[in-house]
Amino acid sequence: MLFILSLNISATSWLLEVSLREGVLAYVENTLLMMIPITLVYFVVKVFKTGVFIVLLPIWILFEISSHYWLLPWPWLTFGNVMSNQYFFIQWYKIFGVFAGTLWLLLLGNLSYMIISKKEKQIQRYILFVLFLIIPICASLFMFYSIPANRDSEISVTTYIPNDSRVSNLKKTQKLYNYVTKNQVSNIILSPELFLTSFKISSQIEHANHYFIRRLIKLKPNTAFFAGAEIIDDDSRRFNAMMVINEKGNFYRIKRKYVPIREHVPKYLKFAFGESFYSRCENDDQRIISKLYGIFPVLCYESIFSTYIVKNVEDNNLIFLSTSEEFMNNSYFGKKQYLDIVRLRAIETNRNVIKCSNKGYSCVINEKGAITTRITEEYQNVIAYKIENHSIYQKLIKSP
């Protein structure tokens, strides 16, 4: 128990750098959530007089999986994420996914404890520990170095990350339009989360918010602009979304996984935290976007959800990830940890990911989790590759 709680403290400590209020809230939430499986393990062991690890293993795995689905989801602390920085050791996540990583670490931890605490049968335990440690790593290294990265179906994308995200929509889009008229850009332009703010769906195309976007589309009719946007409908409800603007019109993909409390408040907690800042919407244009471009647009917090990304990338062969990491206050550890977790989604889905971030690390990640291009300029043309082959993990998740 102390081991698990110490991991919890270590994993959440970087949040305290973000802001005291958000860090404390996150820590309290994580600690309370982790008390659920720990308390359950305690009572099961007490009642049935069984070994702690035999009970802990299934309960903890079920807890991690369920934490992806309940109304206060916080899968950031999935133990399998710990290996994200050593992506060359976990290529087998393509087969079993991040929860198998949790299982692997728990088994290794238990074997280590048995070796340290007990003297009998030490040779067998040492052999078992070495086998559990070496076999997955060797298999992963073989996959990483012997299987070449995909180089078919090349796609060029221009990323636009404004140096100053606080200026108006009009100034940002005017600056983009002026750049396009003077420079060579790709037919697909990608911007970070919340690039456009307070964008009203009912506005006509001549509205200042998207005047220059429409001029850009007329100038380059084959252009598609993937823009992170805060949109407002006729009922004054706000949505965090990805807008795809092309010559046919505007298409919207609404964020499905909101940050608990900060972005969306469940109904049963509104008495304590008030109304949600953003609303939910299950009816959007994702199918149209997939059919037109074969791209799955992901918005920030959604990328933490392993099963959600794997299930929804089925009809797409490339992932766009738009994020806004201003809340991290330039924390090196926070941004690095998030970038490493995104590597896992690339590995699990066998897809390239173009991560376009405001105040975070922007880059292109290949299907092995390796960074192929770092995005450091306000405007930058990058190359990624569309991949149609599904990972085994994706097939397992999708199977009935």
**pLDDT at 27 (0 to 100):** 53
Q: How far apart are CA 144 and CA 150, in angstroms?
A: 12
**pLDDT at 20 (0 to 100):** 41
- The residue among 369, 373, 363 whose CA lies nearest residue 350 is 369
CATH of segment(s) 154-398 = 3.60.110.10
**pLDDT at 206 (0 to 100):** 46
**pLDDT at 9 (0 to 100):** 40
Whether 142 shows a pLDDT value over 90: the answer reads yes
Work out the pLDDT band at 287, boundaries 50, 70, 90. very high
Whether 282 shows a pLDDT value over 50: the answer reads yes
The most confident of the ranges 31-35, 242-246, 272-276 is 242-246
Whether 128 shows a pLDDT value over 70: the answer reads yes
**pLDDT at 211 (0 to 100):** 84
Q: How far apart are CA 347 and CA 4, in angstroms?
A: 26
Name the more confident of 73 and 142: 142
CA angle (87 as vertex; 81, 90 as ends), nearest 5: 80
> Taking the domains of the chain in order of start, what are their residue ranges?
2-146, 154-398
